[in-house]
Structure 1
Amino acid sequence: MNQEELQNLRKDYSAETLTETSINANPIKQFDIWFNEAVEARIHEPNAMTLATATTDGRPSARIVLLKGFDINGFAFYTNYLSRKGKEITKNPLGAITFYWGELERQVRIEGNIEKLSKEQSEKYFHSRPKGSQISALASPQSQEIASRDILESKISQLEEEYADKDVPKPSFWGGYILKPRLIEFWQGRPSRLHDRILYKKIDNKNWKRVRIAP
């Protein structure tokens, strides 16, 4: 594809509208509505989200992770604490997540502080995972340089043999985080790029201010 073809790639959005009267006053309830609609639309991995973190000097990084729970407290995901994102969260707990459901022409952006989930929550989720995923978490030095894939696969084979008849322990370096939102934006695609954007800003422990922002 040449530059001109790339520049001419565009789509006009017309599936839905988003108004101040149609949207729920509580952004978590509104997210629940949209998330369930994404599930019902059979979107591939509707819980896939872009997680953005940054170093203390502002160097950003982003990757796709999976949402594993949400409620009034925030949005949960699990990973290796010693991965790049884990190290960045330790030093700079500010983060952002983005959901994009293209089939529904919708996007949700969420910003807030990231904290570790309790050891009990992490243990419970870890042991709910398929055994293969548990072993992979134990074997992989996530984000670290390795000489070859063979080394990783050899470690997997060793652990599969070691834990063939017993439970895999949750690694101390693996567990959950929760992003506690202070800002949530709902984006609905509209024709001619005049998209609907409704922004919620948290003003205290329970209440949110809701405003429309320009596309």
Structure 2
Amino acid sequence: MNHKIANIRSEYTLKGLHESDLGSNPLLQFSKWFEEALASGLEEPNAMVLGTIHHQFPTSRIVLLKDLDSGFKFFTNYMSSKGRDIEKNPRVSLTFFWKELERQVRIEGIAEKTSEVESDEYFQTRPRGSQIGAWVSKQSSVIENREVLEKATQEMEMKFAGVPVTRPEHWGGYRVIPQYVEFWQGRPSRLHDRLAYIKVNEDYWKIERLSP
């Protein structure tokens, strides 16, 4: 088994990444790559790995990017494991991996809650079932069985029958303000291109090439 795993290998040959390809701002560069991922027809290119610190250990899970402005925005239950982690330590990481494009983007930054208006606006765009689910799920808590969720769902559907579902106070958005952004392009022989933006101040990002 171990031998078979060790032999899993792909050669990356699609493109290179040069300093001249990059703009001065990593958010604009990310937008460019993201548009290319969308145009390539990738399934859920907005899926990203969110890393937090949990009881002194790093922990990660997949969440979905929902907007990009001054930072990377996602939504969740504030009382979830990741929400409690962020409350204690807002330093987080994000990772995007677009296998078909042989690209990866790593972000390190500070997570801050979005405004209530932003959370309300996004909540109203969600499917009604997902809105109900935000009320039902006490995310990350232990439950006895599946029936607990099904019963709670029925109760919430009755509560909001015939009226719009309002956003629960424990559910909303985070915006990750980047401090470090690394763009990785796969290259042959594992000699990948890695170009990193390091935030110096509000108006300037330093760009460095990293050894693969």
TM-score by length of 2: 0.98
Normalized against structure 1, the TM-score is what?
A: 0.97
Pair 1:88 & 2:119 matched: no
Matched, 1:211 2:190: no
Q: Does 1:10 align with 2:6?
A: no
The equivalent residue for 1:119 is 116
Query: Segments of 4+ in structure 1 off by > 4 A?
Result: none
Partner of residue 62 from structure 1, selected from 39, 55, 60: 60
Distance in 1 of aligned mates of 2:43 and 2:200? 34
Gaps of 5+ in 2: none
Correspondence 1:30-49 to 2 at 5 A: 30-49=29-48
Letter in 2 for 1:146: I
Q: CA deviation at 1:24?
A: 1.9
1:158 aligns with 2:159: no
CA distance in 2, matches of 1:130, 1:3: 44
1:126 partner amino acid: F
- Map Cα deviations across residues 82-140 of structure 1 (whole Å, 9 max, x no partner): 00000000000100000000000000000011100011110111111111100001100
Unpaired runs of at least 5, structure 1: none
Q: CA RMSD in A?
A: 0.8
Q: Secondary structure at the match of 2:168?
A: coil
Partner-residue secondary structure (3-state), 1:89: helix
* Secondary structure, aligned partner of 2:201: coil
Alpha-carbon distance in 1 for matches of 2:17, 2:139? 40
**Identity fraction in percent:** 48
Matched, 1:189 2:186: yes
Partner of 1:78: 75
How far is the alpha carbon of 1:162 from its aligned partner? 2.0
Paired letter, 2:96 = F
Shift of the alpha carbon at 1:58?
2.6
**What amino acid sits opposite 1:181 in the alignment?**
P
Pairwise CA distance, 1:203 = 0.4
* 1:33-82 Cα shifts (integer Å, max 9, x gaps): 10000011111100000000003x531110000001112x2100000000
| AA partner of residue 30 (structure 1) | Q
